[in-house]
Amino acid sequence: MPDIGALLSPNAVAVIGAAPDDEMLRGRILYVMKQHPFAGAIYPVSRSHGEVQGLKAYPSIEDLPERVDLAIMIIPAQFVPDELERCGKAGVKAVQILTSGFAEEIGDDGAKAQQQLREIAERYDMAVVGPNSEGFASTKVALCPTFSPTFNNQTRPRVPEWRKNGHIAAVAQSGGIGFAFYDRGRPKELPFSYVVTTGNEAAINGFDVIEHIIDRNDTDVFLMFMEDVKDPDTFRRVAEKAMRAGKPLIVTKVGKSAAGERAAASHTAALAGSYSTYQAMFRKYGIIEGGDTDEMVEMAMGFSLFGHCLPKGKRVGIVTGSGGGGGWMADTCSLQGLEVPTLDAATRAVIDARIPAYGTSQNPVDGTAGAVREIGYANLLGMVRDSESVDAVIGITSARRASTYENERANLTKLARETEKPVLIWSYTNPADEAVTSLSQIGLPLFTNNNNCARTLYEMSEYRAFRERFLRAPEITTGSSATKSSVKAALDSANSVLCEYQARPVLAEYGIGDGQARMAKSAQEAVDIAAGIDEPVALKVQSPDILHKSEAGAVVLNLKTADDVRAAYDKIMASAKAYNSSADIHGVLVQPMAPAGQEMILGVNQDEKFGPILMVGLGGIYVEVLKDVAFSPVPFGTDDARRLLDQLKGAALLHGVRGEAPADIDALVDLMVGLSKFAADHGEQIAEIDLNPVLVHPKGQGVSIADALIVKSPS
């Protein structure tokens, strides 16, 4: 396994391609590096200079006076493979390649060259990051090999020295955005441990970097900007590891839209993939999605300071000296899914005794500006925080002056440190730099945006609940080995499409339906089968060449008499032949009509990257008009299945909202879990499974699968 530690804390560094002119990118890197007191040696490697920016330069990596862990490479693309080879031979353990012109280029040459880099990296077991990256910064060891202006001529220390924990790492394919996280977060006095930009990810990808940083245990929150997931297994392993460690991943994934996908493909050669699948994967691992840099940075701030005491619920107390600000925040909290309850009587009595008649203790607690000063901001926040009605507090302020907080520094620090509930601060005015510093030293997160503040609290609460579930979730057992091999054998021997009559028995091995499928090869056989069924029957053509049976006119429902069945059989055969004269028709399925129920659809589709993804939706118009569907990777358990259903906008329909009996959600959940296990065990063989429609009957009466289809993966 390549050693990313050699990247982030090397013994010494070579800068291959270093140039004297700091206006050029090749010169800038060294120029920036030299501004930071990295303890190891920095060796410029240059063919044309004996000295670069005051440092002795060497003609080749092989000529250095010591073996270096890390090489930074910024030379023309065509020289990169040979140079990487040379690094490998010289015992270099990590290489960050900044050079562009690989897989992001039009044509195959760049992609081939990139593949070459990957092979060399593997051969020498080197941690190769890039190409097409913007470098990185490892703040603790003061190593900043990047041409990003962010670490050039800094006016503040790399990290606020009073922050001993709650460090944040930014990991991004895009150099601009990766360093922008730091650029936005540093003025908020947030402690960044690392900024790593991974570019095209020829070898090491962002999740490799995160895994290494989790193992270092010097970072508590991750900000990530990604264009694709290069290695799904690494993603899964690292996402799970992060959740187990309680270190939140706050992520933006580009390529939600066609244009965004185009952009990602063109500039780091990423195949963006289906965004709904990504969302399902994020949800599975409690990954938090952000929509803009400030939102992501402010969310990281909340976790950075209060990750150790996340709120136990969604109830928030709001303390304000501005009535307008209080109302606005109350609305914002509600929109973001938080609750703003009226405070308990005991707390209100305590507060009412201290505020004027034109203030209010109900929540938002509007102390009025004067009373806030008199009672003390820390005291008022503390009174609300101690209320049994709330899980967290938002304090509203105008952070124009540090003195507001400096005057109460001891009390506010106590409030921030000795608490089991987080206290977040929102300033409705532009905070002064000194006020930002003051609150950071005190230990309270200062938000500049009301939405970000409320959303952060919501996500903190969700994260806590998610993690508790995640840690106690039992391992999911899929099919027994006997079941697995029996189904595998059936799938092996099947043709590429399994019609309903073929799919049913296979699915039944996982408890999906009863497996019954009565096929008729003649009208008389149909009549005979129907005679053995008490209810009215449905007839459906069975042909791998006719997947849209209704469209083909090859389904007839609700048949009650032998004559009707006979006529229906003949009509179906005629329609099917008319629809597709060369169709291979296996026969006609005769089934009892399912009793009424809430129509749903269930399906499994194969995602190129992440494998089988289960889909569930409310049937008919809900799917077609409202796209009301939810996705999940497989397998999953009953709790997950319930939460998946809760994602549906029309979920209330299952609860009998119109006065009907509630539907048999337990049976639906069992079906979903069974299907998820089937998909997990046989995903490789399967391109698609459709159970459409599934009818969910009233509670206690189960579900009926009214149609089923399996399409095998092309082998």
- Asked if residue 693 lies in contact with residue 600, where contact means CB atoms within 8 angstroms, the answer is yes
Judged by beta carbon, residue 251 or residue 499, the one nearer a second copy is 251
What tokens were used for 634? 């497989």
What is the per-residue binding string for a second copy in 201-240, x denoting contact by CB under 8 A? Answer: ------------------------x-x-------------
Judged by beta carbon, residue 139 or residue 198, the one nearer a second copy is 198
Among 96, 133, 146, 252, binds a second copy (CB under 8 A): 252
Which of 246, 182, 188, 183 lies closest to 219 in space, CA to CA?
246
* Dist. CA 269–CA 493, nearest whole Å: 39
What tokens were used for 669? 């959940």
Which of 310, 299, 175 lies closest to 249 in space, CA to CA?
299
Among 96, 138, 150, 441, binds a second copy (CB under 8 A): 150
What tokens were used for 319? 């303390």
Is position 505 an interface residue for a second copy (rule: CB under 8 A)?
A: no
Q: Is 405 helix (H, G, I), strand (E, B) or coil?
A: helix
Is position 658 an interface residue for a second copy (rule: CB under 8 A)?
A: yes
- Asked if residue 187 lies in contact with residue 436, where contact means CB atoms within 8 angstroms, the answer is yes
CA count, 13 A, side-chain hemisphere, 504: 17
Stretch that binds a second copy, among 48-56, 102-110, 380-388, 699-707 (CB under 8 A): 102-110
Residue-wise DSSP of 333-346: HHHTT-B-PPPPHH
Q: Is 240 helix (H, G, I), strand (E, B) or coil?
A: helix
What is the per-residue binding string for a second copy in 273-292, x denoting contact by CB under 8 A? Answer: ------------------xx
Among 155, 161, 164, 258, binds a second copy (CB under 8 A): 258
Among 323, 505, 637, 662, binds a second copy (CB under 8 A): 323
Judged by beta carbon, residue 321 or residue 617, the one nearer a second copy is 321
Smallest gap, in angstroms, from Cβ of residue 189 to a second copy?
13
Smallest gap, in angstroms, from Cβ of residue 347 to a second copy?
16
SS3 assignment for 581-617: CCCCCCEEEEEECCCCCEEEEEEEEEECCCEEEEEEE
Among 1, 106, 353, 482, binds a second copy (CB under 8 A): 106
Judged by beta carbon, residue 425 or residue 507, the one nearer a second copy is 425
Residue 87, φ and ψ in degrees, nearest 5:
-60, -45
Give every CB contact of residue 367 below 8 A, 6+ residues apart in sequence. 319, 320, 321, 351, 354, 355, 359, 375, 380
Among 29, 95, 264, 530, binds a second copy (CB under 8 A): 264
Among 450, 461, 606, 676, binds a second copy (CB under 8 A): 450
Measured N-to-C along each axis, helices 409-417 and 377-385 cross at an angle, to the nearest 10 degrees, of 20
Is position 700 an interface residue for a second copy (rule: CB under 8 A)?
A: no
* Dist. CA 393–CA 343, nearest whole Å: 12
Stretch that binds a second copy, among 45-53, 179-187, 409-417, 467-475 (CB under 8 A): 179-187
Sign of CA dihedral 589, 590, 592, 594: positive
Smallest gap, in angstroms, from Cβ of residue 252 to a second copy?
7
Is position 193 an interface residue for a second copy (rule: CB under 8 A)?
A: no
Smallest gap, in angstroms, from Cβ of residue 620 to a second copy?
8
Within residues 155-174, the interface with a second copy by CB under 8 A covers 172-174
Judged by beta carbon, residue 29 or residue 686, the one nearer a second copy is 29
CA count, 13 A, side-chain hemisphere, 505: 12
Angle at the Cα of 701 from the Cα atoms of 697 and 706, rounded to 5 degrees: 50
Q: How far separated are the first and last CA of the chain, in Å rounded? A: 32
Smallest gap, in angstroms, from Cβ of residue 98 to a second copy?
12
Within residues 416-435, the interface with a second copy by CB under 8 A covers 428-430
Judged by beta carbon, residue 88 or residue 431, the one nearer a second copy is 431
H/E run at residue 128: strand 127-129
Is position 347 an interface residue for a second copy (rule: CB under 8 A)?
A: no
Among 256, 467, 571, 609, binds a second copy (CB under 8 A): 256
Judged by beta carbon, residue 15 or residue 454, the one nearer a second copy is 454
Is position 294 an interface residue for a second copy (rule: CB under 8 A)?
A: yes
Is position 249 an interface residue for a second copy (rule: CB under 8 A)?
A: no
What tokens were used for 564? 């009707």
Among 1, 353, 357, 482, binds a second copy (CB under 8 A): 357
CA count, 13 A, side-chain hemisphere, 710: 28
Within residues 622-641, the interface with a second copy by CB under 8 A covers 624-626
Among 32, 117, 299, 330, binds a second copy (CB under 8 A): 330
Judged by beta carbon, residue 105 or residue 639, the one nearer a second copy is 105
Stretch that binds a second copy, among 60-68, 505-513, 584-592, 619-627 (CB under 8 A): 619-627
Stretch that binds a second copy, among 59-67, 356-364, 601-609, 634-642 (CB under 8 A): 356-364
Angle at the Cα of 174 from the Cα atoms of 168 and 175, rounded to 5 degrees: 75
Smallest gap, in angstroms, from Cβ of residue 639 to a second copy?
24
- Asked if residue 98 lies in contact with residue 73, where contact means CB atoms within 8 angstroms, the answer is yes
Judged by beta carbon, residue 155 or residue 481, the one nearer a second copy is 155
CA count, 13 A, side-chain hemisphere, 60: 12
* Dist. CA 309–CA 80, nearest whole Å: 48
CA-derived radius of gyration, the chain: 31
Among 159, 263, 476, 687, binds a second copy (CB under 8 A): 263
